């Protein structure tokens, strides 16, 4: 059993009052361009988060409808959506091939902010995947060839052997992108921005994709 003393208690009223006194209430989030707002939050996170400000949880479902979630790194974002890369034969790759929908969650703890994204998923182009793969460090390129991601590994030695074999295969030459490795783009149907406020009275602003732009509404915390 988990030691319950390890779980912090809810803040007291005095602690909330100190939070209020420590900072002026920020202006309400702007209901204009969600990508512009996301970019500004990501820039702040890059300056304050100690590790991987571009980390996000990716949630998918398998063929039985059972949900699955894992952390990956955002590698591109523009008006078309949010991009990440993976082994297409991994659990998430297989799940997205069967059910091309996903939810993303960015949580920037130091900023007390979250961004939630839900949308449809499409593969990136081969040209996009090739261009990104070429920027990866050579050991990670070798690893993409060596790893049967999400499948059983008999022991660590088996992985190290596969890495050594892939290294010998390519020698000092260019490492091409494996055919089983590419990326996915999540085209948002909704993007929710969540900002912490005292007494759990958080601010929640939702953008919903609409013909020619976005509609917005706010949610109770």
Mean pLDDT, the chain, whole residue set: 92
Q: Which pair of structure tokens corresponds to residue 107?
A: 């949580």
Cα distances (Å, whole numbers) of residue 18 to 10, 28, 201 = 14, 21, 15
Query: What gap in Å lies between CA 123 and CA 120, rounded to an integer?
Result: 10
Q: What is the pTM of this model?
A: 0.89
87: Cβ contacts below 8 Å, ≥ 6 apart? 93, 144, 147, 148, 149, 150, 178, 180, 181
Q: What is the per-residue pLDDT across 98-125, written as a single tens digit (0 to 9) for each?
A: 999 999 999 999 999 999 999 999 999 9
Catalytic positions: 200
**pLDDT tens digit string along 11-43?**
777 776 776 655 556 788 888 999 999 999 999
Residue 203 pLDDT level (bands cut at 50, 70, 90):
very high
Distances (CA, A) of 102 to 17, 37, 42, 150: 38, 21, 20, 18
- How many other C-beta atoms are found inside a 10 Å radius of the C-beta of residue 135? 8
Question: Between 13 and 201, where is the model more confident?
Answer: 201
């Amino acid at each position: 059993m988990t030691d319950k003393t390890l779980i912090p208690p809810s803040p007291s009223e005095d602690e909330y009052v100190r939070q209020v006194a420590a900072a002026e209430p920020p202006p309400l989030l702007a209901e204009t361009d969600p990508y512009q707002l996301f970019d500004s939050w990501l820039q702040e996170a890059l300056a304050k988060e100690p590790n991987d400000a571009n980390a996000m949880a990716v949630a998918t479902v398998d063929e039985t409808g059972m949900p699955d979630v894992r952390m990956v790194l955002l590698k591109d974002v523009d008006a078309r959506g949010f991009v990440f890369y993976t082994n297409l034969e991994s659990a998430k790759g297989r799940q997205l091939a069967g059910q091309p929908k996903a939810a993303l969650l960015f949580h920037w703890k130091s900023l007390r902010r979250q961004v939630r994204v839900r949308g449809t998923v499409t593969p990136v182009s081969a040209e996009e995947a090739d261009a990104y793969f070429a920027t990866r460090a050579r050991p990670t390129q070798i690893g993409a060839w060596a790893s049967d991601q999400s499948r059983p590994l008999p022991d660590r030695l088996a992985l190290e052997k596969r890495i050594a074999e892939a290294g010998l295969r390519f020698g000092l030459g260019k490492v091409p992108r494996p055919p089983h490795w590419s990326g996915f783009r999540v085209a948002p149907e909704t993007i929710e921005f969540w900002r912490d406020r005292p007494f759990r009275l958080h601010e929640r602003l939702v953008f919903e994709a609409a013909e020619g732009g976005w509609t917005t509404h706010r949610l109770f915390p």
